[in-house]
Amino acid sequence: MNKSKDLHKNQEEFLLNKALRFCEYQARFSNEVYKKLLEYGATDSTAKKLVTRLINSGLLNDEQYVKSYASGKHKNNRWGKIKISYELKKKGIPDSLISEAVNSIDENTYIETIKHLAEKKLQSIKIGNKSDKYQKTCRYLAGKGFEPGLINMTVNELLQEK
């Protein structure tokens, strides 16, 4: 019986080390780590236990992960709030954490980003009338995940300046 406990303890430590390495090079969401532990061969109860242990030790923080993800995708990929929300929802993240993270994006930076992207897109469209340029730019910004009202306002403003 003692040997069985030692074996279980060794397996747990092995799985914990695998989970730590998985979290080491990139921030992770707790559900992601839980699924990875199951892939590594952990039982449901062991995986839950290890995830709880990582959360309690501060090595796994869902709120921090979601905010970091939202901020990074906005700054680096220049995604809008809709696309960020959609991608986070696909990962199984609760709506409360998603809305908190999306709302933490600086509004001034957000407006600057959409203006910059719209200006760049409008400059890249060489042929067509104002209506064509408007449609193409709006589609591009919608694909980036920006809100329709903000898109219309920004593109109309830029087209009036020209």
Residue 1's pLDDT is 44
Residue 104's pLDDT is 93
Question: How many beta carbons lie within 10 A of that of residue 91, not counting itself?
Answer: 13
List alpha helices for the chain, DSSP H: 2-24, 30-39, 44-56, 62-77, 81-90, 95-103, 107-124, 130-143, 148-161
Q: Are residues 89 and 73 located together in one domain of the fold? A: yes
Contact 137, 118 (CB under 8 A): yes
* 3-state class (DSSP) for residue 78: coil
Q: Are residues 141 and 98 located together in one domain of the fold? A: no
pLDDT average per 10 residues of sequence, the chain (162 residues): 55 88 86 92 90 91 92 95 96 93 94 96 89 94 97 94 72
Q: How far is residue 67's CA from residue 121's CA, in Å, rounded to a whole number?
A: 28
Domain count, the chain: 3
Q: Are residues 33 and 73 located together in one domain of the fold? A: no
Q: Are residues 93 and 116 located together in one domain of the fold? A: no
109's CB contacts (< 8 A; 6+ apart) are: 74
Residue 2's pLDDT is 55
Domain that holds residue 23: 2-60
Q: Are residues 38 and 69 located together in one domain of the fold? A: no
Q: Are residues 122 and 135 located together in one domain of the fold? A: yes
Residue 42's pLDDT is 87
Identify the CATH number of the domain in which residue 20 sits. 1.10.10.10
